Amino acid sequence: MNYFELFGLPVEFGLDSQTLADTYRQLQMQFHPDKFASRPERERLQAVQRAAQINDAFTTLKHPLNRAEYLLSLQGIDIRAEQQTLKDPLFLMQQMEWREQLEEIPAVQDVFGAIMAFDRELQQASADFYAELEQQLGSSQWLDAADTVRKLKFMTKLHAELERLEDAQQEF
């Protein structure tokens, strides 16, 4: 059973997060290991395994990037642990520009203003990539969607670096 079936959801990128959360709570109540404490060991073990599966499924489906990777894996494209480099020259140039921009932030007069401006830029670019990803997944453009997921993974890492920079500035 795939994660979408487990939660009774259509196999698609866009999903109702409230339905996902409600179903998660229902499944957790139904299969919580404490409910099986007085049952035979085999049933207790099955309950623990089922609860773990429910948790894994919820975590995967709750986060859009994880959900996209999971959708791709259902199509035989497993990029979850890969380190493949993109062959998109425009995005590679953009990556370099963003890296330079990030490196220059500590030297500017208004560091926090620069961090906030860069954060807005990254958020907008990520939103654009997510819109592109949703369209690609919806029209079964699996390889293009895989490349967009790779771009979003870079964006996630870059945003984490920006947050670390902001945290370091707050220590002063």
Domains of the chain: 3-62 (1.10.287.110), 89-170 (1.20.1280.20)
- What's the CA gap between 16 and 13, in Å, rounded? 10
Please name the residue that has the structure tokens 């035979």. Answer: 40
The vertex-21 CA angle with 20 and 26, nearest 5°, equals: 100
Percent of the chain surpassing pLDDT 90: 78
Given a cut of 70, whether residue 172 has pLDDT beyond it is no
Distance CA 122, CA 129 (A): 10
Look at the block and give the residue holding tokens 């958020």.
123
Contacts of 133 (CB under 8 A, 6+ apart): 13, 68, 145, 148, 149, 152
**Distance from C-alpha of 139 to C-alpha of 107, rounded to nearest angstrom:** 45
Q: Which amino acid is at 24?
A: Y
Predicted local distance difference test score (pLDDT) of residue 56? 96
pLDDT tens digits, residue range 77-104?
988 777 677 889 999 999 999 999 999 9
Q: Which of 106, 95, 105, 114 is nearest to 158 (CA)?
A: 95
Locate all alpha helices (DSSP H) within 105-141, ordered by sequence. 111-138
For residue 8, is it left (φ>0), alpha (ψ between -120 and 50) or beta? left
pLDDT tens figures, 3-16:
999 999 999 999 99
